[in-house]
Amino acid sequence: MLIGHQPKDFLLAVSGLTVSFDGFKAVNDLSFYVEDNEIRVIIGPNGAGKTTVLDLICGKTRATSGSIQFRGQELTKLRENEIVQAGVGRKFQTPSVFEDLTVFENLEISFPRGRTVFGSLTFQRDAAVKERVEEVAEMIFLKDRLDTYADQLSHGQKQWLEIGMLLIQDPDLLMLDEPVAGMSVSERAKTAELLNRIIKGRSVLVIEHDMKFVEDIAHKVTVLHQGQILSEGTMEHVKNDPKVIEVYLGH
């Protein structure tokens, strides 16, 4: 690993990251680097610490030690909303959308303007907002559902809506936690298509179990096991790594 002299052009540089919950190290001295426009998939068995890594990057969980540099900015010291404003977007495993608001209002809230208390009091729903919301709604297949309350949407549609809410934030680093989990076959295909479209021009960090899906999108795969990196490289490399076969992919 390149500790100490990592080149400057990494978008995300995680080094020596450790978090311990009452002595249990969920993530243990983890280091990895994500480049601009790279699609990185994190795989690993249950409890390997995949979701915890995303939680650490987006500030939901505080690191015990180590550093997370994003465009040279230290994320471990920032609050969650400041990390979002720095350009990191996070999608949760279970769809978390605002069910008492319409699809339009859900997307509007994510529009990156008027994020302070007084900014949101004076926020105007102007043409730029409407245009952007409609544009994103079309991408996430919800263009004709803009006035629908989000609690009326199917599970898959809620997942898309949340992806749309991230899109409208236009983050430089997009983190997706099992984006196709619990989706029907047709929804899954549409989601893959959607993801392939939205990952252009930004870096993406994805947790996924669906190997077919991983092969489709990954530039590089990181395999986590017990909070540490077991293997890292192309899908081809990882698939043939005996250690990975042993603990995760099976014989």
Partner 1 sequence: MIINSRFFNRTELIGFVALALLLFVILPLSLDIFRLNLVAKYLTYAFVGIGLVLCWGYGGILSLGQGVFFGLGGYCMAMYLKLEASSVANTKIQSTPGIPDFMDWNQLTQLPFFWKPFHSFPITLLAIILVPGIFAFIIGAAMFKRRVGGVYFAIITQAIAAIMTILIVGQQGYTGGINGITDLRTLHGWDIRTDHAKFILYFVEVVLLFGCIIAAQFIRLTKLGRILVAMREQEDRVRFSGYSVANFKIFAFCAAAIFAAIGGAMFTLEVGFMSPSFVGIVPSIEMVIYTAVGGRMSIFGAVWGSLLVNFAKTSLSESFPQLWLFGLGALFIAVVLAFPNGLSGIWQDYVQPHIDRLLASRKSKPGNGFPVADGAPAE
Backbone angles phi, psi at 10, to 5 degrees: -75, 140
Q: Which is nearer to partner 1, 35 or 98 (CB)?
A: 98
Q: Which is nearer to partner 1, 81 or 184 (CB)?
A: 81
Residue 140: both structure tokens together: 């996430």
Q: How far is CA 181 from CA 55, 135, 143, 207, in A?
A: 18, 25, 23, 10
Shortest distance, position 51 Cβ to partner 1, whole Å = 13
Please state the closest distance from residue 1 (CB atom) to partner 1, in A. 29
Smaller CB separation from partner 1, 145 or 220: 145
Closest approach of Cβ 238 to partner 1, in Å? 29
Shorter beta-carbon distance to partner 1: residue 62 or 237: 62
State the helix-helix crossing angle for 155-169 and 103-110, rounded to 10 degrees.
Answer: 30
Residue that the structure tokens 């990975």 belong to: 244
Residue among 43 and 137 whose Cβ is closer to partner 1:
137
Minimum CB distance to partner 1, residue 106 (Å)? 8
Closest to partner 1 by CB, 64 or 85: 85
Contact residues for partner 1 (CB under 8 A)? Answer: 58, 60, 79-81, 84-85, 89-90, 92, 96-101, 105-106, 108-110, 112, 114-117, 120-123, 147, 149, 162, 165, 169
CA distance 53 to 67: 12
CB of 59 to partner 1, least distance (A): 9
Strand partners, 228: 225
CB of 145 to partner 1, least distance (A): 14
